[in-house]
Chain A
């Protein structure tokens, strides 16, 4: 399968614990995005990378959130001191950008986080 993969698919954690999610994009894609989706809402943008550079962060990304893409391939999203409001589906997407606007974004299956 050459699509976007995310691990783990499900994570249950206690409030105050740290969690880390991983995303592996489609291999030739140089842009990688993180979104968060809560019940009844569409995905909301968190941050994106072009290669290893983090180019934009949403105001939704509080200081407890950090994302990395160290070698321009896979990415990790870490949430420190989780809160119940962090419970959501965390989606990763990737795309390939040449000159001009980037192409369509392809999403992974998501990681569902439940904070108890």
Chain B
């Protein structure tokens, strides 16, 4: 059972426009959510996170929104740059249990 779902396998956007990456989860016990970015042949790189007590967290060009009632979060990248082209993973953690549960990832391509 996939507790963290990234239903779109890929997304292509024009440079300078907004990229919106979506993630849904089924486990209501998840209380902390993270986004990781991964380039080929490298490990995932931490990008941004949000606690379940918040609905928005912003860091530069990256903003994560959390809708707990819908069990949905999204990552907004504004403006998108070609260097943002990578695989993005949504991950979640349950309480004091610190292991992460990941989605399958979404491949973002930013066209110059």
Nearest B residue to A95, CB-CB: B98
Report the bound CA distance from A40 to B103 in whole Å.
Answer: 10
Assess whether A107 is in contact with B99, with CB atoms less than 8 Å apart: no
How many residues of B are in contact with the other chain, CB < 8 A? 26
Report the bound CA distance from A109 to B93 in whole Å.
Answer: 22
Which of B36, B43, B98, B104 lies in contact with A101, CB distance below 8 A?
B98
Assess whether B89 is in contact with A42, with CB atoms less than 8 Å apart: yes
Report the bound CA distance from A33 to B97 in whole Å.
Answer: 12
Q: Which residues of A contact B (CB under 8 A)?
A: 4, 6, 31, 33, 35, 40-45, 48, 56, 58, 91, 93, 95, 97, 100-102, 104-110
The interface residues of chain B lying within 8 Å CB-to-CB of A44 are 102
Given contacts A31-B98, A41-B105, 13 further A-B contacts (CB under 8 A): A4-B43, A33-B98, A40-B104, A43-B102, A44-B102, A45-B100, A48-B99, A58-B99, A95-B98, A105-B34, A107-B44, A108-B43, A110-B42
